[in-house]
Every structure is written in C-alpha cells, then in structure tokens.
Homo-oligomer: A and B are copies of this chain.
Amino acid sequence: MKKRLREIALLIEGEVDGDGDIVITGASGIKEAREGDLTFLANTKYAHLLASTKAAAVVVEKGWKITTDKPLIRVSNPSLAFSMLIELFGPKKITFPPGIHKLALVSKEAKIGTGVSVGPFAVVEEGAEVGDRTVIRSGVYIGHESRVGSDCHIHPNVTIRERCVIGSRVIIHGGSVIGSDGFGYVAVEGLHQKIPQIGRVVIEDDVEIGANVTIDRARFDKTIIRKGTKIDNLVQIAHNCDIGENTIVVAQVGISGSTSIGKNVILAGQVGVVGHVRIGDNTIIGAKGGVSKNIPSNSYYIGIPAMDAKQFKKIYAAYVRLPALVARIKELEEKLAGPGGQTVEDAETKND
C-alpha cells in the first residue's frame, strides 16, 4: 500500500503542513516507525521523540506548536485519525465467513440471525439467540435461552451460561466466563450450603470484555455491565454488581457482590472493591486501591483502604519520613530529659 501524504490527509480529514507529495508506505507507533511510515503524536509530552523517530511524517493535533522538519498532517484527534489509518495500512484483517461450521453444534431450537459465523466446536444451546453478523468463534459455549446481539465478536473458548443477555457490538475475548454462579452459601450446622443463583448477567451494547474475565450471575435479578464500559483481562465481577456506563475496569480488578459503580469511573489495575458499596460517577480509584466504603462522585481515591488522594499524599509524605520523625522525637526526649536522663528508647532497650 503506497499513498501520497496529501491523499492520506483527505482520508482522515486533516490538513497537510509540509510536503504533501511524499510517499507513505506504512503506519506505525513513533518508536517502532521505519522509513516511509506515517506515525502520530497522541500527546505533546512525547514531542521529544520526533527528533529520533524514523517516520516520514507525523499526524498531530491542530493548533499544537511542533518543532520538526517532518511533514505533518494536522487533525482534531490524532489517536482517532490514526486508528482509521491502521485499517488502511495495517495487516489484512482476519475475517470469519458467515455460516455455521459443520463441526459446530447449534440447537435447532436456537435462533440464528443473518450473516452469523459460528466456528468449529462451538455450541449454541436450545432457546439461545444470536443477532445478525455476530461472530461466534471456535470452542465458544452459549447456554440455553441466552441472547447475543448483532455485530458481536465472541472469541475462542468463551463460556456464556444460560439466560444471559449480551447487547450489540459487544466483544468478549478468549476464555472469559459469563454467568457463572455467584459465590453464596448459607451456614447449616457448620457446613456451607449453596444458595441457588437464579439471576442473570446483562451486558449492554458496546461493552468490551478482556480475556479470562469472570462475571457471575445474580442471586436474583441481574448483574449488569452498562453500555460502553470496557473491562480488561482477568477481572472478577461478582453477583448482583451494577457497573455504570463508559466505565474503565483495568486488569485484575475484583468487585465484590452487590456493589454499584457509577458512569465514567476508572478502576485502575488490581483494585479491589468490597461488597454492597457504591462508587460515584467520574471517580478514579488508583492502582491496587482497596475500596471499603461508599466513594462519592468526582473523586480520586488511592491506598488500602482507599482514601482521598490528597489526604493519602499528605500521610504518605509523613510515612516515608518516619525514621527521621523517630529520631526527632528521641532528640526531643533527650533535650527534655537533660544530662543523665533516660529516654523511652533507652528503657525499651533495657526491657528487651
């Protein structure tokens, strides 16, 4: 694929700033770029990389002041423009032809839309529905009476249990399990007796779920992931959780039962949230944070247990100076004790 820079600018609705006649032969990240590649700058803080990149030209944001001798294409959103370019210059996309593979097992009592692809060794059970143009890859299991919307992509070896509801344009990566039983027991004479988990999982439109994620079905009613939310790999979402719209759940986060997360929230990697609490809209929980109570909207919390980030930083600043603080206390004690006096540490040492 070869195109002149000015042709590409037209495709991504940008304006050339420099020589529009140069020929572009590929697209790549700014560090990996080779000669002839077009690259992009997502953030001016990486502008120093322009000096070393081998790229032939760069996509940048309109209005940025950029010092470089490379031709630019100026657009309103470089990351977005670049995503469009990749479709053009990237490797040919793998497609999965419509049709039910002869080694798939689709119940006669399942409803399959038009243009659906069902891969080998996939199972679609009785009463399940699959929307138009959805791709069900090999080894996927779709349980009884579950519904998957249109234009979804369910990657290999995903398990979707019975009576779950998946919206449209949902992507679920390999190995994830949707609708496993909630973790609930009642103590009967000292033994843990299983509580039936008869609810469902509902995943709304435009959600993406990473690889080897687990989302448990509700005890009653539903566990719900609302539209536009993106979930990274190895995340655990327990029974009866309600995850708001456009929320970001980074890898290895765990959310306990009946917890509710707002819209536009970010839970960074390895965060844990206890059960039965609410995190408000637009809140960010920093990596590894442990949420043990309700958190208001528009907050930034970090730490275990998680607290307001400003408070955490003040405490942490003192925490790292603890050895010095101990020395200062000792010095104060010595001054007050006067010559020959005994400080607390002297006494402690003697008691050992």
In the bound complex, do residue A212 and residue B210 qualify as a contact, i.e. CB atoms below 8 Å apart? no
Q: How far is the CA of A93 from the CA of B176 in the complex (A)?
A: 23
Provide the main secondary structure of the chain A interface. Answer: loop
In the bound complex, do residue A183 and residue B210 qualify as a contact, i.e. CB atoms below 8 Å apart? yes
In the bound complex, do residue A328 and residue B333 qualify as a contact, i.e. CB atoms below 8 Å apart? yes
Task: Please tell me if A105 contacts chain B, counting CB pairs below 8 Å.
Answer: yes
A138 CB to closest chain B CB, in angstroms?
A: 5
The answer, among B137, B143, B173, B335, for a CB contact under 8 Å with A181, is: B173
Interface residue ranges of A216-272 to B (CB < 8 Å): 216, 219-221, 228, 230, 232-234, 236, 238, 246, 248, 250-252, 254, 256, 264, 269-270, 272
Q: How many residues on the A side are at the interface (Cβ–Cβ under 8 A)? A: 110
In the bound complex, do residue A234 and residue B234 qualify as a contact, i.e. CB atoms below 8 Å apart? yes
In the bound complex, do residue A155 and residue B180 qualify as a contact, i.e. CB atoms below 8 Å apart? yes
In the bound complex, do residue B256 and residue A272 qualify as a contact, i.e. CB atoms below 8 Å apart? no
Please list the residues of chain A having a beta carbon within 8 angstroms of any beta carbon in chain B: 28-29, 31-32, 77, 79-80, 82-83, 86-87, 90-91, 94, 103, 105, 119-121, 123, 137-139, 141, 143-144, 155-157, 159, 161-163, 171, 173-177, 180-181, 183, 185-186, 188, 190-196, 198, 206, 208, 210-214, 216, 219-221, 228, 230, 232-234, 236, 238, 246, 248, 250-252, 254, 256, 264, 269-270, 272, 274, 287-288, 290, 292, 304, 307, 311, 314-315, 317-326, 328-329, 331-333, 335-336, 344
